[in-house]
Structure 1
Amino acid sequence: MISGDISIMQSWEATLEVLDLSSNKLTGSFPNLTSQFERLTTLKLGNNSLVGILPSGLGAYSRLSAVDLSSNNLNGPIPSSFFTSTTLTSLNLSGNNFVGSIPFQGSHESELLVLPSYLPLESLDLSRNFLTGNLPSDIGNMGRLKLLNLAKNSLSGELPNEISKLSDLEYLDLSSNNFRGEIPDKIPSSVKVFNVSHNDLSGHVPENLRRFPMTSFRPGNELLILPEGMPAENTIPGPIHDSGNHHSSKASIRVAIIVASVGAAVMIAFVLLAYYRAQLQDFHGRSGFSGQTSERDVKLGRFTRPSLFKFHTNDEPPATSLSFSNDHLLTSNSRSLSGQTEHVTEIIEHPLPGGASASSASTNPNVLDNHPTTSGRKSSPGSPLSSSPRFIEATEQHVRLDVYSPDRLAGELFFLDGSLAFTAEELSRAPAEVLGRSSHGTLYKATLDSGHMLTVKWLRVGLVKHKKEFAKEVKRIGSIRHPNVVPLRAYYWGPREQERLVLADYIQGDSLALHLYGKSLN
């Protein structure tokens, strides 16, 4: 936004033709530039903080066609030169503190203006000021007027019959004034928007105005007799803008429609894709060989690369208890992320009919490539995951879980506040439980050596490109404070592209999906 005193205009080049500084932070009083800017055609300084009285000769520029000084703090009388100009087609002084009468015949008794046979004004908006006096009969000289908005002033007297001469008039708003008497009979049929509510009019509503809704006359006008059968709903559209803004508004609307359409199409495609993937994952999960891991699957001994979890099925009997054993680790140099990976094999046991039991440990080397060995951790038999209906459903077939990850996190850990401190090494050995997975990555619950529980989001590969941008975004999100938002505690940037983590406090509770869909998830 541009700020400063508007008096700086005095030092500008006199060849200026169009001045549009609307919606800025300009201040000060409008300078007297009658002898300057003789080529000026457009003056738009609306929605600023201008004050003071307008120069009396502001409308005397020989080429001036459009003036918009709306939504400022200008005061004093309206310069009569605006209403003697033979070039001005659009005048908008709404939303100011102008006082006095509308100067069709001059604002002072000593000043007598001879009006031309017609005025070229097409749009006149003097609404939301403190204007007083009558609406002069000279309004009939504005034969080209399409918009007349005098709403929210203190105008009084009767409405002149000369309004009927405005054959091109489309928008007439005289609401919130003190007009009295009857409404002229011959308001032009070209009028599409009509509002005289909040006045003291009386008599009958003319026949040609009965097509307008009741809100065009009420509230106010208690003595005005409304015919039966008038539409009650407000069908009045928004105000007609001056012709100088009309084309730009239409272009803006077109651009907005195009952008909204493209955005809606992309959103619909994204929703359909997400729904398809969710259905596919749910089908795989119910079949027992989903490539997904969720809160029903496992409790891992350390953080692992989310996309490298894989399930394999065989024909061995079903089982219920889950454990990890060093006896079933495979050894090879064929596949690794950091030169050393781990392979964890599930052992699943289930009581057989008749009280018998069986156990199996599948380590068939023909199924997968061999991998370097490390030790795995046992999951807690009392974990709530083991009692989850979806977990039991997923383990109806014997499953082997392969996990590949670096032994330890060797990157940098950055904290957003000083209330919690731990090392990347401690995070590496923290027992982790998979809570869920989304398009952004996999969510874990991790328990530090101190017993403090964290929620860790392991971001999907390719989601984060640059460390500086990542840090800036995390800090911005971490600064958000709201009772319903869990604040971020830290983030981790590892040496490998797949090692990007965001950490927050763990909050006990079910997922949003469970609250939304309930038992249908089972």
Structure 2
Amino acid sequence: MEPLVSTIVILLSLLPSAVKSSGDAEALLTLKNSIDPSNNLPWQQQQQQQLCKWEGVKECMKGRVTKLVLEYMNLNGVLDQKALNQLDQLRVLSLKGNSLSGQIPDLSGLLNLKSLFLNDNNFSGDFPSSISSLHRLKIVFLAGNQISGQIPVSLLRLQRLYTLYLQDNRLRGAIPSFNQTSLRFFNVSNNQLSGEIPLTPALVRFNASSFSGNLNLCGVQINNSSSCQSQSPNNYTPVLPPETNETTSESKSNRTKLILIIAGSVGGFVVLLICLVLLWMVCRRNRTKPEERNKGVDGVLCVDVNTGGEGTSGGGRGCNNGGKPGGFSWEGEGLGCLVFCGAGDHQMNYSLEDLLKASAETLGRGTIGSTYKAVMESGYIVTVKRLKDARYPRQDEFGRQMDVLGRLSHTNLVPLRAYFQAKEERLLVYDYFPNGSLFSLIHGGVVDICLKDYSPT
């Protein structure tokens, strides 16, 4: 009797997940009916039990779809709002490179969504303000559509926003004062935006390419802040009454006092500026001395050691945006690029966009930065180290050091495959090894690691 009761309890516990998985399958089939008139998606009612193996379903968790990627599949039609919101466990949704049209539906049901790629379609109508309620959203690609209306101020509620690409649309009005410190990639070029670009810390880091193609925009970022004054409605000259003798002498006295005040202020400002320059020179001298002492001894960056890796030889540098249709080149916007190291046969066909869309798992944190295990959509796994301080050394010196590391070859060195550097971001990409850390290997047993006879090539 007791085994029978235990079996019934187990079956009842599995019932909710099975029901939810069936709900995801029904939602996907409904979505297919609305956007796949050419039957490009081989989804079938009879294959609901194999939902996680359906084309475009890249990841599942407990039978629920968490990553849906339907890119460049000649899909067209209008998205079914109800079916889409039933997929409430989605982390990544990518429908880019199709011919989807109509208004982007309300997506407020996708509370777990982190990455949204709807670029390069035919969406129209107002900006989908519903995404402002998705508090976990980090990456938003809506470029290359026909979206109109204003950029909603409610986007300021997305405190984790990392990438916002809205270029090549029909957006109008002013740019909101984005103040998210996490914002690293931003582009609103080729729209109909107007007014002054806000001087927030989040927006001043972007150059003119992020705002080009908006004829009525002005601001420091595009080097035409003077035109903002000409657009002011209060630009007029008042007519003053004629001066009498008494007012003339009084005005001369006031003018003298004003000149003295201005001269004193300017003099004080000059003295303060000189003091700041001297202080900056002293700090710079003290900061460069440790770098000169350490130069050529141990290097600035550390190299991971592993007992099961194979080294590579050769060199080579080059920016890579994946070579895919609709790819993005960060270098074209002054934001840096992904540079591959090592021999040509070791260069992997992935781009920075692939890294952004990869599933990340934290492996550890240290004084230099944090290390992540990144699993790309293709199934390729790499280790990504995100450096804490992206200011030192300078970009050219950092590139030279990465070239040296990329040429190191030894059986106990994890080869550096690629690196990325932008204004405030530096990433190092290594091969992934599942053997654990050097610390666990050393303290967990005796390991024979030979660190001699390595040769830079």
The TM-score with structure 1 as length reference comes to 0.36
More helix by share: 2
More strand by share: 1
The TM-score with structure 2 as length reference comes to 0.41
